[in-house]
Copies of this chain bind each other. A is one copy, B any other.
Amino acid sequence: MIKEEITKHSIQLFEKKGFSQTSIQDIVDVLDVTKGTFYYYFSSKEQLLMDIHLQYIDNLLSRQQMIFDNTSLTNKEKLEEVILMLIKDIKERGSSGRVFFREIRHLNNMNISKVKEKRNNFRLRIEEVVQEGIKTKEFQSDLPADMIAFGILGVTNYSYNWFNPNGDVSPEELAEIFSKMILNGIVSG
């Protein structure tokens, strides 16, 4: 209960001020407890950050798996679904996402490796879908699937930096725009 509260408020603080600029004191002040309490639940500031990272990426991985395991979807539809998932996530978990992308460097080397492996898995599964689509002729035959996967993630992940999910364009609309661009390009005809 308290542990979850700490995590939740830390995400807000890390997003707003950054990991380094947020002190344990800042965190416990929000909850009106003392630093001792923090160290009862977390062994270090870094472990808290690791928890946040794992929660974020594990959630994405399992939701990605649900999409990609759905055999009724074409590869094109799988890409569309995963793009939609990522863009919609900005609204509900944008803070976590920004912390995830920005603060990984503050983990120690071992934890960085663990997180990067999961992050790579997420990307590699997208790469596999692209590869599958090439095989099924849904996608162009000469695509370098790995680079395309990076390109897709660039479009979606960069959105965490600028997209306002409460603005004029809804997450669903943005996901459709980006899906179209990636799938069909912008050139006319």
Q: What DSSP secondary structure best describes chain A's contact surface?
A: helix
Identical subunits present: 4
Q: Which of B133, B144, B155 contacts A169 (CB 8 A)?
A: B144
What distance in Å separates the Cβ of A78 from its nearest Cβ neighbour in chain B? 13
Q: Are A186 and B177 in contact (CB under 8 A)?
A: no
- Binding-face segment, A5-13, A57-65, A88-96, A146-154: A146-154
Q: How far is the CB of A24 from chain B (nearest CB, A)?
A: 14
The answer to whether A162 and B150 touch across the interface, beta carbons within 8 angstroms, is: yes
Contacts of A102 in B (CB 8 A): 102
Contact between B150 and A159 (Cβ–Cβ < 8 Å)? yes
Going nearest first, the 10 A-B pairs with the smallest beta carbon separation are A154-B158, A185-B185, A20-B20, A184-B185, A154-B155, A154-B154, A140-B188, A183-B187, A183-B185, A147-B177
